[in-house]
Amino acid sequence: MELFLDTANIEEVRQGVKLGVVSGVTTNPSLAAKEGAGSFRALVLEICRLVPGPVSVEVTAVDPEGMVRQARELASWAPNVVVKIPVTAAGLEAISTVSKEGIKVNCTLCFSVNQCLLAARAGVAFVSPFVGRLDDVGQDGMAVVRDTVEVFRKYHIPTKVLAASIRHPLHVVAAAKAGADIATVPFKVLLQMLHHPLTDIGLSRFLEDWKAAGLELELPVGR
């Protein structure tokens, strides 16, 4: 399962890429708004420069024609831009148009297998079932991921399942067990996945023992 960062913060993207585990980024209008005023295009281009993989950028129009115009513009910014379009009637109409033009689409705000299936039939490259938001209203968000993966595999549908609205590390594990192709995580969750108190304790003990023994790690000059 691939890991994407769910952020529009340049420093978070830069740090995530340095770790060598992030292969893409997802953004949305809310995340972009948190980064303050400025050129949205410049922000997206910098993220695309840092990340070699897909960078999802969302349309803000709500009508099919507006979505298509924005999708074409966003896709022209960089070769790794993936356009996010919501799973509405207008969204499906726009998806059907731009996907035929070779524009990759990530269908967002999916909350059911039916929505994911419709989006896949319209030609999207990714569907994004929102796990955390379903959990918030008392539904099993991961069940949508699991069932969507099962349906897509049964019918050999090439659309990738991207588990979104990830709230904590256990969501990441559950997404991997459900067979999701990708999980997109906030930077905070990525760091939580990395840290474990027993790792910190073990490293501290190793270093204390090494220091007490008076050992030195001698490296050849120039290395």
Write the pLDDT tens digit of every residue in 109-153: 999 999 999 999 999 999 999 999 999 999 999 999 999 999 999
Span 74-105, pLDDT tens digits: 999 999 999 999 999 999 999 999 999 999 99
All domains of the chain, ordered by start, with CATH? 2-196 (3.20.20.70)
Residue 24 makes CB contacts below 8 A (sequence gap 6+) with: 2, 4, 5, 51, 53, 54, 55, 56, 182, 184
Read off the pLDDT of residues 5-62 as tens digits, 9 standing for 90 and up. 999 999 999 999 999 999 999 999 999 999 986 899 999 999 999 998 999 999 999 9
At residue 38, the pLDDT reads 82
Residue 223 has pLDDT above 70, yes or no: no
Q: pLDDT value at position 221?
A: 74
How much is the pLDDT for 107? Answer: 98
Give the DSSP per-residue string, 155-208: TT--PEEEEBS--SHHHHHHHHHHT-SEEEE-HHHHHHHH--HHHHHHHHHHHH
Question: Choosing from 84, 100, 154, 211, which is the catalytic residue?
Answer: 84
pLDDT score for 173: 98
Per-residue pLDDT at 220 exceeds 90 = no
- Per-residue pLDDT reduced to its tens digit, 157-203: 999 999 999 999 999 999 999 999 999 999 999 999 999 999 999 99
The question of whether 188 is a catalytic residue gets the answer no
Alpha carbons 212 and 152: distance in angstroms, whole number: 57
Can you give the pLDDT at residue 17? 95
Q: Which residue has the higher pLDDT, 207 or 175?
A: 175
* Residue 187: predicted pLDDT: 97
pLDDT of residue 222: 65
Q: What is the pLDDT of residue 24?
A: 98
What pLDDT is stored for residue 96 in this prediction?
98
Percent of the chain at pLDDT > 90 equals 89
